[in-house]
Amino acid sequence: QVQLVESGGGLVQAGGSLRLSCKASDFIFSINTMGWHRQAPGKQRELVATITKGGSTNYVDSVKGRFTISRDNAKNTVYLQMNSLKPEDTGVYYCNSAGGSYVWGQGTQVTVSS
């Protein structure tokens, strides 16, 4: 079954940290570059970080130096460590392939207060 389950979101003050996790089904995780996407209130979903099967990473400029994406291939899990959070990081965070090719999970809400 194709499945993506995100967790780890919450409410945090500006400057704080959160670590998101995403458990993916074997099919998705084994063949794809994985990505974290976020949807801020009133905005379109955007890709913020990607990681290849070999561990190469890429980030959107707004999160570079603050977010770190990683993956544990043995656990079919991808992580997003978010440090120095800003109010503009608020949104629902989803994992998927980098291209968003699969059915979206429920996501996990991140709220950063100023």
- Cα(102)–Cα(95) distance, integer angstroms: 10
Angle at 3 between CA 66 and CA 10, to 5 degrees: 40
CA 91 to centroid of chain Cα atoms: 11
**pLDDT per position as a tens digit, 21-67:** 999 988 877 778 999 999 999 999 999 999 999 999 999 999 999 99
Q: What is the rounded average pLDDT of the residues 3-21?
A: 97
pLDDT at 26: 83
Q: Is 45 helix (H, G, I), strand (E, B) or coil?
A: coil
pLDDT at 31: 75
Confidence band for 20, pLDDT divided at 50, 70 and 90: very high
Angle at 38 between CA 90 and CA 79, to 5 degrees: 100
Percent of the chain with pLDDT over 70: 99
- Cα(33)–Cα(100) distance, integer angstroms: 10
Q: Is 101 exposed, middle or buried (0-12, 13-18, 19+ CB in 10 A)?
A: exposed
